[in-house]
Chains A and B, each alone.
Chain A
Amino acid sequence: GENVEQHPSTLSVQEGDSAVIKCTYSDSASNYFPWYKQELGKRPQLIIDIRSNVGEKKDQRIAVTLNKTAKHFSLHITETQPEDSAVYFCAASLKGAAGNKLTFGGGTRVLVKP
């Protein structure tokens, strides 16, 4: 089955700096890669996703890149703000197939220091 590795497990950045989180996956058939943000005591919320037919996607200060050959994808947050402090999870799945399900990485705890 799919295995997703996420690094780093914790990340501390100064407000205004950039944050980068990297994930690798094992199943070359996976074609959908979402990122979730989970604030303390709250549900995971989808912040951005990318499908295997594109290499990069951007939404304001957040961008995701995908390298299918290397089987890795990354989340980039620019101009970080204190409200970006949360745990971020990457995931991978094979969309469109029976039994498609998300496999999550271990999570990255991001702390943005004012």
Chain B
Amino acid sequence: SAVISQKPSRDICQRGTSLTIQCQVDSQVTMMFWYRQQPGQSLTLIATANQGSEATYESGFVIDKFPISRPNLTFSTLTVSNMSPEDSSIYLCSVEQGVGTEAFFGQGTRLTVV
């Protein structure tokens, strides 16, 4: 399985600021995804990070709030913009090494907005 490194692991941020989360994989992967997991809740897909093109966002998530980059097949970033306390969550990167293969998760970024 792919080794996924996500940074930072946690952060406490002031409201109105932005945080960029990085996801680095040790091998090229076909698919990269970003999820949000609110406290005590399930995982909700934010967007699919597409290499070389704009991310595909799920209903309820917009590019202005959650801009995503994926410059190559091993790296992606998620930015949480203009943060409010409601953005306090765990953000998880997920990858699939090939089409039709299982998904693996990074260790997550625990974000607290104060």
Contacts and interface: CB of A to CB of B under 8 A. Distances in A.
Interface in A30-61: 32, 34, 36, 42-46, 49
Contact of A89 (B42, B59, B107): B42
**What is the interface of chain B mostly: helix, strand, loop, or mixed?**
strand
Contacts of A96: 99-100
Q: For the complex, would chain A's binding face be called helix, strand, loop or mixed by DSSP majority?
A: loop
Interface in A89-114: 89, 95-96, 99-107
Contact of A46 (B45, B92, B104, B108): B104
A43 B106 contact: yes
A64 to B, nearest CB: 13
Interface string B82-113: 00000000001010000110111111100000
Contacts of A44: 43, 92, 105
Nearest to A109: B40
A102 B103 contact: yes
Contacts of A104: 42-44
A96 B94 CA distance: 17
Nearest to A95: B100
B106 A89 contact: no
A46 B100 contact: no
B56 interface: yes
Contacts of A102: 33, 43, 45, 94, 103
Interface in A59-94: 89
A102 B41 CA distance: 16
A32 B101 CA distance: 10
Interface string B1-38: 00000000000000000000000000000010100000
Most buried by B among A1, A34, A44, A107: A44
A77 to B, nearest CB: 19
Interface of A: 1, 32, 34, 36, 42-46, 49, 89, 95-96, 99-107
Interface of B: 31, 33, 41-45, 48, 56, 59, 92, 94, 99-100, 102-108
**Nearest 6 Cβ contacts at the A-B interface:** A43-B105, A95-B100, A104-B43, A104-B42, A96-B100, A43-B107
